[in-house]
Amino acid sequence: MKIHAPEPDPARVGHRYLLPRFARRIGFRAAVFLLVLWVGGTPAWAAGDAAAGATKTRACVACHGENGISVAAMWPNLAGQNAPYLAARLKFYQTTTVEQYPAMYPLSAELGEQDIEDLAAHYAGLSVDTCAAQAGATAGDPAAGAQKAAMCAGCHGASAVTANTAWPSLAGQKDQYLVAQLKAFKDGTRVSQVMAPFITALSDQDLVDLAAYYSGLNVQDHAPCE
């Protein structure tokens, strides 16, 4: 049997009745959401807050490290990378599947727009000596890679730090991660109309040489590691 609570006398409905009654009508979650909107104002796009981002890295450090330097050569460093690029990547992973990106699809799916902007601002602001963190062994020849990198400098920068923050800098990025991404551009599993024309002519040896060159630069001063 359903028990109906007596309707409160309209004349006596105080402020404290309004939210619960409203919530019952539109659902609790929607009511809370609207309350947050009402209290916080309309949430327009807000720039990332690096300090807030620093508090949101708990799910990231296992792979990307405490300081944005990843713990494995096949995982990307995030320290010092351009914030708009990092944010765009996180939004991209949200559109993928767990089969395509077993790590980053589920993690990105948990993030709200503001989390993404905050995390991107946090990682972009980290300045870390990547030479100290390099794994060491590389399959490529950095000197040969440096010569081939001339065709990449127009976008990724003469010192592997790009002027366009929508694009990734490459200085100090992890060796095996770079090789994997370059192969993915080449075989079409990572789609970029901007990158595609520059990658098709490169051999597998070119890709490992380029990765050896870029991973051997320090993200702090863009100079080759000793």
By CB under 6 A, the residues from 176 to 215 that bind ligand HEC are: 178, 181-182, 192, 194-195, 198, 210
Short-list 81, 103, 67, CA closest to 173: 81
Which segments of the chain are extended strands (E)? none
Q: Draw the binding track, 116-135, toward ligand HEC (x: CB under 6 A; -: no contact).
A: ---x----------------
Q: Does 107 bind ligand HEC (CB under 6 A)?
A: yes
Q: How far, in Å, CA of 124 to CA of 68, rounded?
A: 9
Point out which span in 22-30, 42-50, 58-66, 126-134 binds ligand HEC (CB under 6 A): 58-66
Q: Please calculate the CA angle 61-67-70 and round it to the nearest 5 degrees.
A: 60
Q: Draw the binding track, 140-159, toward ligand HEC (x: CB under 6 A; -: no contact).
A: -----------xx-xxx---
**Closer of 19 and 52 to ligand HEC (Cβ):** 52
Q: How far is the CB of 79 from ligand HEC (least distance, A)?
A: 11
- Interface residue with ligand HEC, options 50, 68, 69, 75 (CB under 6 A): 75
Q: Does 104 bind ligand HEC (CB under 6 A)?
A: yes
**Closer of 130 and 173 to ligand HEC (Cβ):** 173
Provide CB contacts within 8 A for 70, sequence distance 6+: 63, 64, 76, 77, 78, 174, 177
